[in-house]
Amino acid sequence: MFYFNEGSLDLPDSWQDQSVNLVSSNGPMEPGLTITITRDTIPWGMGFSEYVIDQIEQIQGTLDDFALSGRKPVVIGRAAGFELECTWKAKQGRIHQIITIVQIAENRAMVLTASQPGNMSPTQASEVRRIVSTLNLQQRRS
């Protein structure tokens, strides 16, 4: 059974949750702070720390003018994770992100990406960290 905010679907157990959730502090089509939640499968034989390093390398190779300004281990919702803080250049201008990656199962990761056009203020960054710290991971329902 796959549960989501509006309901559920009876899916085979072998199906993976690859959904994307996007929440925003502003109205539709208005620039502002957003948080995107994605899920990913950690490649076979790769440890979680190796996965995080691999993700950083992929981001560096993809985003223009990427700069990693912080990386630290965190525990969110009783799950081990890493917080990355970075900036990069998009078509519309500079983007400031705080990316939190947590291991939600042996081979699964959840990525919470807070993005702000321009720079996040210290108050915004603090609020993002507070919001992310409220992550409450639920056991998969069968």
Least confident stretch, 20-24, 75-79, 111-115: 20-24
| Percent of the chain with pLDDT strictly greater than 70 | 89
Q: What is the pLDDT of residue 95?
A: 96
Question: Which pLDDT does position 69 carry in this prediction?
Answer: 95
pLDDT at 141 over 50: no
Choose which CATH entry (3.40.1000.10, 3.40.1210.10, 3.50.50.60, 3.20.20.240) describes domain 16-133.
3.40.1000.10
Residue 140's pLDDT is 52
Residue-range domain boundaries for the chain: 16-133
Q: Tell me the torsion sign for CA atoms 25, 84, 75, 126.
A: negative
Res. 142 pLDDT band, cuts 50 70 90 = very low
pLDDT at 47 over 90: yes
Which of 1-10, 53-62, 118-127 shows the lowest mean pLDDT across its residues?
1-10
Average pLDDT in the chain: 88
C-alpha to C-alpha distances, 30 to 59, 84, 117, 134, nearest whole angstrom: 25, 25, 11, 26
Burial class, 112, CB count within 10 angstroms (exposed 0-12 / middle 13-18 / buried 19+): buried
Q: What proportion of the chain, given as a percentage, has pLDDT over 90?
A: 65
